[in-house]
Each structure stands twice: as structure tokens, then as C-alpha cells.
Chain A
Amino acid sequence: MTEKAEDRKPLLSKKIDKFFTGLADAWNFVRRFFKEVFIPPYEFKEVVHQCYRIGVESLPLIALTGFIVGIVFTNQSRPSLSEFGATSWLPSLISIAVVRAMGPLVTALIAAGKVGSSIGAEIGSMKVTEQIDAMEVSATNPFKFLVVTRVLATTFMIPVLVMFTDFVALMGSFLSVNANENVSMLTFFIQVFDAISFLDIISSVLKALLFGFTIGIVGCYKGYNSSKGTEGVGRAANAAVVMAMFLIFIEELLVLQIVNAIRMM
């Protein structure tokens, strides 16, 4: 409790030591989350409040980006497909691209930038201005009230936002396909749903849950451990985004391997 790991004599080099103590710190933070999330009292009201905030904060940006991604991706794919006279495949192609990869990834990256940084900054500034201590002395568990609620909120909300992104992107794509290939909405969406399987949807949702958890826990961790001063808060927000984005790509890669392995079976 009293002696921090950094105060000890370095075992290897200071940098390597710091890396591993940092890793252990982060691991303990995650473990603490899983411990406290199941112990009552549950902060339902605060979770709902955070969900609402996350939704409102990121919806406009996600809607715009999703829409543009849908249109752009469709228009970029058209020339290659038309070389083979296969533009009728557009809806299926877009559907697979959006549901399997682009929807979750685009949503998560935008949310990491928007939500992750705001969580990092908010908790960081609460830390350095002793608001977290103030909570603690008024007999409220700040980890539960601030961290658990936010992580739950991002974990629930990112899948919802992903579905929204998927929908908006497909709508964007539809507008383009409808204008150029004269495909009706019904035909378009029949092709869209034909192309994706149950596994695609499940893996998309699971991925979204994982991304959401990552964004929340990284933002909270960076904020909770931000160093003193306003500079520390800025750094925490920044580190939250960078770290979350990095982890999201790694997770995307891992999940892709697993899902493809399942698909082969």
C-alpha cells in the first residue's frame, strides 16, 4: 500500500520495469472492475445517465461518418465490379464489408476519439482536483460510481451504435445503388440480408461489446491514474485515445482469426 512499485530499485532497466508495473497496474484495474461490477449497490441510474451521454455525444458524428462510408465505399467498388459486369453484386459486397468489418471498426474508432477521450479527461480532472477523494470521504465508492458505470455504459452502447452505423451506411449505399443501378429498396435489402450469416451478426455484436469495454476501461484507467496538474489531464485524454485505438485494431485482428477459423469448420 505504502510503497509504490516504482520506488523500488529497478530490476532490469527503469523503462522495462515501468512497462511491466504498468501492465500489472492495468491488469489489477481490470480485475477490480470485474470484482466490483457484481457487488451491490448497483448504480443503475448513473449507468443509464452515462449511456444517454455516450449516445448523444457520438450519434451525430457516427451518423455522418457511417453515411459517407456507405456512399464512398459503394462508389469506389462500382468501377471494379462493372468491369466484370457484376454491379448487381454491389449490395451483397457492401453488406459483408459493412457488417463484418467497417461498421464495428468505424464506430469504435470514432467512439474512442469522442467518448474515450472525454472519459479520460473527465476522470482525470476529477482525480487531480480531488473530486474522487471527496467522493470517497463522503462514503461513496468512486470506482463503482465513476468507473464501473462508464465501462458498463460503453460496453452496452457501442453495439447499439454499431447497429446504427450499419444501418446508416447501408442507407447511404442504397442511395447510390438506387441512383445508379435503379435497384428498389426491397431488392437491395433482400440482397443485403442474404449475404450475411448469423455468425456475421454474432461476431459483429461480440466485437462491438469488446470494443466498447476497451474504450471504457482504457479511458477510465488513464484518467484514474493521471498525474497531477492540468497537463496530466490532457495527457490522460490523449493516451486514452491512442491506447484504445491500438487495442481495437489488435482485437479486430484476433477476432477475425477466430471467426475465420469457425467459418472454416
Chain B
Amino acid sequence: MEEKVIEARNLMKSFGDLDVLKGVDLDLLKGENLVVLGKSGSGKSVLIKIMVGLLKQDSGAMRVLGKDVANLGVKELNKLRLKIGFSFQNSALYDSMTVKENLEFPLVRNIKNLSRKEKDKKIEGLLDSVGLPQSINQMPSELSGGQKKRIGVARTLILEPEIMLYDEPTAGLDPITCMDINNLIVQVREEYNTSSIVITHDLTCAKVTGDRQAVLLDGQFDAVGTFEEVFPHAEDKRIKSFYDYNFINS
């Protein structure tokens, strides 16, 4: 049996009267790219926030790298978080810091006695691999949306995580930049050997980056499988409309 890096079992989460997750089961296998699709507000971001302990589920279990996230102490949780790269929906770059300081932040706070030279080399290397070496001294406010996303990805990669969680990496970007980001996600997996979850509602992104697709419908995963299995011949109206909508519009 293949190794599972993330296991969610019967996960429930509600906010007040709003039930967002209603019994989610999900496995992320080592080395795979899993795409999570779903309508806006279906709870995709909530799901991955539970994975890093930013939110706590009401019931059910979330195991990441064999650890039960909800019941970890602060130290252990932080240790686990260092192995997970979380790329935020809106990049969440620290806007009082330059691009370089943004990348430095996780590095200097978590790895002691790293020399200036090693640090700079690492930062420059990463900026190269996301294709933005010239932005090193810019402020986040001077970057475009797509550039911010890439810097955000670079910042999460700097600690060489085992798992990458991308929250809508291509939302709101033009098709060409989308393709750049999709390629970056594929390239990251090859270069850094990560297992990833990619959240999106863009089927092109899903097709290019995902080994498996999972569709979050009404608080549960309805269809899980390869792109061909899930989409073109979907019987469920909601999945079908998802597919039709995307390809009629592109």
C-alpha cells in the first residue's frame, strides 16, 4: 500500500449555523499532486487550514505525516508546520518587508547559524526558480498579482517542505500567467520532491497539475479520481456544470 502523508477522516466543521465540512474523507499519497475543486465558499480553504492547525475541526481526524494535528502541543505543531508549505490564496506577503526579507523571514526564524552567504544563495536560487530574480529588493506593493503569487510560493519553498498546499494559485490571473504558475507547480514537485494539494476552480490548472482530482460538493468529497474519470463523462449535474462552464468559457 502506498504511503499516505495526509489522512482526513469524517471531518466536520461549522461556523455558527453554517455547516461547511460535513464528513470529509481525503488521502494525499506521497509524491502525488492532488487537486481539490469546489465552488466558492464550499470550504476548500477551511480544509487546508485545518491541515496546518490554523483552524480546528469540530469532529473527525486530521493526520498529517502521521501526526494528529488538532492534538499537538505548540512545539510539535510548529515542527510539523515547517514541513508544510502553505501558499495563501492572496499570497499574504508581509507588506512592510521587501521580497528578500519576506523570503528571509522563515529562514532566520527557524534555522539558526546560517551564514549570510548561504542565506543569500538560497534566496537567489529560489527567486531564479520562480523566475523573478530582478524583484529581490522590491516591496510587495510594487509587484503584480502573478508575481506576488510566485514570491509567495518561493517563500513557502524556502524551508524545503515535504508537503505543499496551494490555495487557488491561479485565481484572478490571465491565462498565460496561469500557465506559468501551473508549470511552476509541476516543476516544484519534480525539483523538491513534494506531495501537494492544489486548490482551484480552474479546470485547466486542475488538468495540468493534478494526478488526481477531488471535487468538494456540499461539504463532502463526491468524486475522486483522475481527470478523465471525474470530468468528461460526469453524471452528477453539479460536476458536469463545472466542466461545461470551464470549457465553454475558455
Contact = CB atoms under 8 A, between A and B. Distances in A.
Interface of A: 1-2, 4, 7, 122, 125-126, 129-131, 133-140
Given A2-B58, A138-B106, A139-B82, A133 B88 contact: yes
Contact of A134 (B17, B58, B88): B88
Contact of A131 (B14, B78, B86, B95): B95
A238 to B, nearest CB: 20
B52 A137 contact: yes
Nearest to B13: A2
Interface string B179-210: 00000000000000000000000000000000
Given A138-B110, A139-B110, A131 B92 contact: yes
Which bracket fits the contact residues of B?
Answer: 20 to 34
For the complex, would chain A's binding face be called helix, strand, loop or mixed by DSSP majority? helix
Contacts of A131: 92-95
B92 A139 contact: no
Contacts of A122: 96
A216 to B, nearest CB: 17
Contacts of B79: 139
B109 A139 contact: yes
B56 A2 contact: yes
B81 interface: yes
Contacts of B14: 2
Interface in B84-111: 84, 86, 88-90, 92-96, 105-106, 109-110
A122 B94 CA distance: 11
A45 B81 CA distance: 24
A1 B96 CA distance: 31
A7 B18 CA distance: 11
Contact of B81 (A4, A7, A129, A138): A138
A134 B86 contact: yes
B16 A4 contact: yes
Contacts of B82: 138-139
B54 interface: yes
A138 B92 CA distance: 12
A140 B159 CA distance: 13
A141 to B, nearest CB: 8
B46 to A, nearest CB: 12
Given A1-B56, A2-B56, A7-B16, A137 B86 contact: yes
For the complex, would chain B's binding face be called helix, strand, loop or mixed by DSSP majority? loop
Contact of A130 (B56, B90, B106, B109): B90
Contacts of A2: 13-14, 56, 58
Nearest to B16: A7
- Which of A133, A137, A139 has the most B CB atoms < 10 Å from its CB? A137
Contacts of A137: 52, 54, 81, 84, 86
A100 B82 CA distance: 52
Contacts of B105: 138, 140
B92 A129 contact: yes
A133 B56 contact: no
A5 to B, nearest CB: 11
Nearest to B12: A2
A131 B101 CA distance: 14
Contacts of B52: 137
B58 A130 contact: no
Contact of B94 (A4, A134, A136, A139): A134
Nearest to B88: A130
A30 B243 CA distance: 51
Contacts of A139: 78-79, 81-82, 106, 109-110
Interface string B105-124: 11001100000000000000
Contacts of B159: 138
B97 to A, nearest CB: 10
Contacts of B93: 131, 134
Nearest to B87: A134
27 contacts: A1-B56, A2-B14, A2-B56, A2-B58, A125-B95, A129-B95, A130-B92, A131-B92, A131-B93, A131-B94, A133-B49, A133-B92, A134-B88, A134-B92, A134-B94, A135-B94, A136-B54, A137-B54, A137-B81, A137-B86, A138-B82, A138-B106, A138-B110, A139-B78, A139-B81, A139-B106, A139-B109
A133 B93 CA distance: 11
Contacts of A140: 105-106, 109
